[in-house]
Amino acid sequence: MQPSDMSAVDLVTAVRQGDLTALRATEVFLERIERLDGQINAFLAVDREGALRTAAAIDAKRKAGKPLGPLAGLPVAVKDALCTSDLPTTCASKMLAGFRPPYDAEVVARLRAADAVIVGKTNMDEFAMGGSNENSAFGPVHNPWDLTRAPGGSSGGSAACVAADMAPVAIGSDTGGSIRQPAGLCGITGLKPTYGRVSRRGLVAFASSLDQIGPMARSAADCALLLETIAGHDPGDATSLDLPVPAYGTDLERPLEGVRIGRVPAHFGAGLDPEVAHAVEEAFAAFRAAGATIIDIDMPHADAGVATYYLVAPCEASSNLARYDGAHYGHRAEPGGHRAEPGGAPASGGGFESALVEMYCRSRAEGFGPEVKRRIMLGTYALSAGYYDAYYAKALKVRRLIRQDYLDAFEKVDLIGGPVSATAAFKLGEKSGDPLAMYLVDLYTVCTNLAGVGGISFPCGFTKGGLPIGFQLQAPALAEPLLLRATDRYQHLTDWHRRRPAIAARPR
């Protein structure tokens, strides 16, 4: 069996037992990246030499009888929003083109300590702002199931590289669905953990009260393997939860008898594609057959989720992205429109102060793409004098109501199920001219982030056109073991997650 056909759990076991070398596993995935990524554009940087060097060192440790980390030999792709000291971190933006951080994000450091092999950095919507991965300054990612369609966003590169078997697992980040929605559109499994379960230190911030890092893989078992390494307290992150990390992979086979899954009838209203609705209902039936109880519940404020999210997130983005002014690092433009490297003095004329302001304005105008600018302006407007109470303060009150909906629901059920997105993957360019239509792709995912709870997405069927359909489960805070167990039980009853796009099955 080729390493690209193996699960992450089996791959790590094979390396540990000496049945497969880390070097061989890494070479196979690097070869697939080289052969396939020209069509998909999932990677912004590939560290071939560094990955092979790391893999060889892991093999040497095993031969010497030294202890190996829990992810020994496992190739991992990392979203380009996480800092890496040995690779550029661009957030798919001209603003950070070529930027190399002086340190690793905490999650990256944990991966390295666990003997994972980081093969490269994945493409994304610029600064994680988007639902299609068309907002990247370095070109869109193409969905491996249909290269004319979007992979979802903002972690589209991470989802696409796993779907095409260019990496067995990947790291994404989720602010309003950016792990779960691309996982659903690309036919893989993606977990958004409870806020604070995984350190955000070294994640370039979009909306700090919503951002969360999580695993993307073929299966729940593979996500559990990755989550055990990246979860846990980090003293360097004030929002990190100081709680023990469960052994997520040891409880997966427990049956679902007694587990109550909520179904929200309002999720099946106008706008939901009939093929998606049918697949989601079939998934509920499969859970029922596995012993779970399905209970209809109400989430009264869910219809306010998108409006609330698109006030809270842009307001936080407006603040977070204020640091990109051309004066400290990243893209800098001279007042005349010519690029100057950091440290260069602004052009003279009109006084130093006016030249400095012009440099700030030009640097941001040239460095940020249209969607980032749109969200910065929206957030700045909502935070401005005379509008703060009408918009941002009111959005925070509605956010509290949404969180209360979840608290009330979880007194009646253990999990909440439903669609990930209203349709399967849409055509590239189909929604890019209509920001509102694009924002509505987050309809079923944003409330998870607003409430700070956990959610997971996994395939539950395919359209007649052969596109994956995703199912979402949400759980109370820190209930990732139940999310993973329910998903694993479903994946033992179905084979949707084992299917591969034609591009991944082409001759090696």
3-243+258-263+413-505 sits in which CATH class? alpha beta
Taking CA atoms, 25 is separated from 6, 109, 430, in Å, by: 10, 21, 38
Per the residue annotation, which of 4, 132, 155, 178 is the catalytic one?
178
- Distance between CA atoms of residues 321 and 337, nearest Å: 21
- What CA–CA distance (Å, rounded) separates 127 from 221? 29
Which ranges in 78-213 belong to alpha helices (H)?
A: 106-113, 156-163, 180-186
The predicted pLDDT at position 335 comes to 59
The bridge status of strand 75-79 relative to strand 169-174 is parallel
Cα 146 to Cα 39: distance, rounded to the nearest angstrom: 11
* Short-list 222, 217, 112, 220, CA closest to 165: 217
**427 in catalytic set:** no
Q: Assess contact for 306 and 314: CB atoms under 8 A.
A: no
Per residue in 217-229, is it b (16+ CB within 10 Å) or e — as a string? bbbbbbbbbbbbb
- Using N-to-C axis directions, what is the helix angle for 394-409 and 305-320, rounded to 10°? 120
Per-residue pLDDT of the chain (508 residues; tens, 9 = 90+): 899 999 999 999 999 999 999 999 999 999 999 999 999 999 999 999 999 999 999 999 999 999 999 999 999 999 999 999 999 999 999 999 999 999 999 999 999 999 999 999 999 999 999 999 999 999 999 999 999 999 999 999 999 999 999 999 999 999 999 999 999 999 999 999 999 999 999 999 999 999 999 999 999 999 999 999 999 999 999 999 999 999 999 989 999 999 999 999 999 988 999 999 999 999 999 999 999 999 999 999 999 999 999 999 999 999 999 999 888 777 998 756 544 444 444 444 457 678 888 888 999 999 999 999 999 999 999 999 999 999 999 999 999 999 999 999 999 999 999 999 999 999 999 998 898 899 889 999 999 999 999 999 999 999 999 999 999 999 999 999 999 999 999 999 999 999 999 998 755 4
Q: Which of 4, 132, 136, 154 is catalytic?
A: 154
Active site residue 363: no
156-163 vs 22-40: helix axis angle to the nearest 10?
A: 120
Q: pTM to 2 decimals?
A: 0.95
**DSSP bridge partners of 117:** 75
The secondary structure of residue 203, as a DSSP letter, is B
Question: Catalytic annotation on 154?
Answer: yes
β-strand partners of 149: 427
Cα–Cα distance between 155 and 140 in angstroms, integer? 12
What is the per-residue pLDDT for 340?
46
Cβ atoms of 239 and 196 closer than 8 Å: yes
Q: Which residue type occupies 201?
A: R
The one catalytic residue in 79, 121, 192, 431 is 79
Domain ranges of the chain: 3-243+258-263+413-505, 326-367
- Give the three-state DSSP class for 450: helix
